[in-house]
Chain A
Amino acid sequence: MSDISLHVGFRPWPALKERPPCCEPHEFIRTENLSIYYREKPALENVTLPVNTGCITALVGPSGCGKTSFLMCLNRLTDLIPGSRVAGSVRIGTDDVLQAQTDVIALRRRIGMIFQKPNPFPLSTWKNMEFPLREHGVRDRVEIAETVEKTLRDVGLWNEAKDRLHAPALALSGGQQQRLCIARALALNPEALLMDEPCSALDPISSGVVEDLITSLRQRYTVLIVTHNLAQARRIADHVALFWVQNGAGQLIEYGPAKDIFEAPREALTAAYISGMRG
């Protein structure tokens, strides 16, 4: 892996003890007064949210309160939506990524994204993994092969897929496809992963497998996961942020460690949502 660190933006994984254990507040991402407007209609207003390194932060709340839009701001995917405008600041590490001079391509390598519907490219499993690696400068075939195997093992797909690496990825099952998408993002050695309801399009068993995978990512990556499933949030999240629509736009109601949110929420709305009385 010696050459990877030469490629701009790639950072080698620090040894586990170097990473701050979760629960120590060590911010990696911080948004300040983040607002998103689609054709001047606000989707999200004044969200100030810190995200800690190595932790799994769950974004919960009913549909339409801007959770997905929030995610898309973090890797500047909002640039692709016509008529969208983002205000406020998003700090990742030491950089404000909303600035015009941000290298968006390098940003999207640091921050990977997994979508609700698994969407591998219409290529073979191997090519799905190799293609982004090549694009980001990894050319050596041995290195690529090593990275592919390592990452597929990491997501638990190696044994299932190693005999079908050159078969179309779309022939894999839904759960396998989603794990492939995760592997594809992990192969680029990101620092954070944004996941938009990664399990909601999967059957319960695949869902469980993917959930276990996400849990295994704790401490190695910073994970933000949007989920409707409160039970899932309870199982895997270290921190929880509740979003709700108020005054016509999505607002951040409360955030904090999972223990606090589920057992001793500060806001009445949070208590009501958690107990199932609202939403």
Chain B
Amino acid sequence: MAEVLSRPAKSDWVPTLLVWMAVILVTTVFVWLISDIVRHGLTQLSWEFLTTAPQDAGRAGGIAPILVSTLLILGVCMAVSIPLGIGTALLLAEFTSVESIFGRLVRRSLDVLAGTPSIVFGLFGLAFFSKTLGLGFSILSGGLTLACMVLPILIRATEEGFRAVPPDYRLSAAALGLSRTTTILHLLLPAAAPGLIVGLVLGIGRALAETAALIFTSGYVDRMPESLLDSGRALSIHIFDLSMNVAGGDANAYGSALVLLVLLIVINGTAVWLSEHWLHRKIIPL
């Protein structure tokens, strides 16, 4: 792209300088941040850290029950949002025309949902899932709240995936007398899979990073959960608690932060690898 534009003129030195200064500033801050986390977190990382329970309010010990709780919350979130998300995306991409009022209403509400602050989700989860539905402070309550948060991200990416499938496939499938259901299940879903995966990953990333929505819904308890109705502490909440409420908890907070970062990088990387691998196999441009 840089070759498309002419070389910068002499008088262009101001914008060029600004650009380079901005980039250097940004890179410096971020390298500083990441190296700080890695440096402090690496000292805490060990097998024991990942497999033992926290002791002494988390200053010592590990994060095993926290990891389990996090996984369970994530599981509930995905189990609810994936079917709902794919279904809605399918409807928006395949069954509604651009002017349909129903489609526009749904899209508007999803846009607002996507911008809603996480603390508002926390309030909603508290009022609806915890209080009205009687789930109290529980993994179920937290997972359901996160599902509401993650839904718009999932839907948008999945819908893009469906729209990327060329219209020719639908026409020739119809001309062959295949039912809509068959066309969707056997042709469109596999072809849209890369978009789905991207949406999934973005959603998981958002869910893992969430704190404010979980404080009032899944609670603070750092014991190993016995059921979905137990309260459980997510990784992000553990980091928050250790750094703000527990004096001397910084070390383990860094360790937990590093674990969280590694988890996110692994998930992201897997998705990129998967979608490239699949892209080569499934979507061959004509």
Contact = CB atoms under 8 A, between A and B. Distances in A.
B116 interface: no
Main secondary structure of the interface of B (DSSP, over half): helix
Interface in A144-201: 168, 170-171, 181, 184-185, 188
Interface string B184-207: 001100010000000000000000
Of the listed residues B168, B175, B286, the one surrounded by the most CB atoms of chain A closer than 10 A to its CB is: B175
Nearest to B166: A119
A91 interface: no
B174 A122 contact: no
A149 B174 CA distance: 24
Nearest to B176: A132
B172 A135 contact: no
A132 B178 contact: yes
A109 B176 CA distance: 6
Interface in B131-180: 166, 168-179
B270 interface: no
A132 B282 CA distance: 19
B176 A184 contact: yes
A168 B284 contact: yes
B48 to A, nearest CB: 49
A17 to B, nearest CB: 30
- Say what secondary structure dominates the interface of chain A: helix
Interface string A117-138: 1010110000000011001100
B283 interface: yes
A108 B175 contact: yes
B174 A77 contact: yes
Contact of B168 (A106, A117, A171): A117
Nearest to B173: A121
Contacts of A106: 177
Interface residues of A, number: 28
Contacts of A109: 176-177
A115 B168 contact: yes
Interface string B249-285: 0000000000000000000000000000000001110
B97 A82 contact: yes
B286 A115 contact: no
B177 A188 contact: yes
Contacts of B245: none
Nearest to A171: B284
Contacts of A77: 171, 174-175
B171 A122 contact: no
B182 interface: yes
B171 A80 contact: yes
Contact of A122 (B175, B176, B177, B283): B283
Nearest to A103: B177
A79 to B, nearest CB: 8
Nearest to B286: A170
A170 B168 CA distance: 14
10 contacts: A77-B171, A104-B177, A108-B177, A113-B172, A119-B166, A119-B171, A121-B187, A122-B191, A135-B182, A184-B176
Given A117-B286, A135-B176, 20 more contacts: A77-B174, A77-B175, A80-B170, A80-B174, A104-B177, A105-B177, A105-B178, A108-B174, A108-B176, A112-B175, A112-B176, A113-B172, A115-B168, A117-B168, A121-B187, A122-B169, A122-B284, A168-B284, A170-B286, A188-B176
Interface of A: 75, 77, 80, 82, 104-109, 112-113, 115, 117, 119, 121-122, 131-132, 135-136, 168, 170-171, 181, 184-185, 188
